[in-house]
Amino acid sequence: MTWVSKSVITEVDVDVDIEIEFSDVCDFIDDCDEETLEALATKITKKDVELRPLSEFDANTVRHLIERANIFGFADMLDDLKREGERIGVFLKVGVKS
């Protein structure tokens, strides 16, 4: 008995839509090791995007916090600041007893 085999390789282009939310990107950054974060920072810097430390607030951030305090009160503004800080890994200790 004689066996014959044939192998065929076919390349196919496939379009796939993947939705990536901003929170997915934040979660990815939170899970990165130091080497990966350095590589990301290098790539971002090459795109002429300025990376600023968290201690520097832009005008929109200051405006948002002041408007929030004026409308809803200081406690609500601090809750908003605390929540956003925790989302990026910075914890507000105002009002926390140690």
Q: Are residues 42 and 68 in the same domain?
A: no
What are the 10-residue block averages of pLDDT along the chain, 98 residues in total?
Answer: 86 85 83 87 76 65 82 82 82 65
Q: What is the pLDDT of residue 4?
A: 87
> Which residues lie closer than 8 Å to 5 by C-beta, 6 or more apart?
none
Q: What is the pLDDT of residue 98?
A: 47
What is the distance between the alpha carbons of residues 78 and 66, in angstroms, rounded to a whole number? 10
Q: Are residues 58 and 89 in the same domain?
A: yes
Model-level pTM?
Answer: 0.35
Q: Are residues 72 and 84 in the same domain?
A: yes
Q: What is the pLDDT of residue 22?
A: 81
Q: Are residues 61 and 32 in the same domain?
A: no
Q: Is the dihedral of CA 37, 87, 46, 19 positive or negative?
A: positive
Q: Are residues 35 and 59 in the same domain?
A: no
**CA 75 → CA 41, 92, 95, distances in Å?**
34, 13, 10
11 within a domain of the structure (yes/no): no
12 within a domain of the structure (yes/no): no
* Residue found by looking up tokens 């601090």 in the block: 78
What domain range includes position 25?
Answer: 20-51
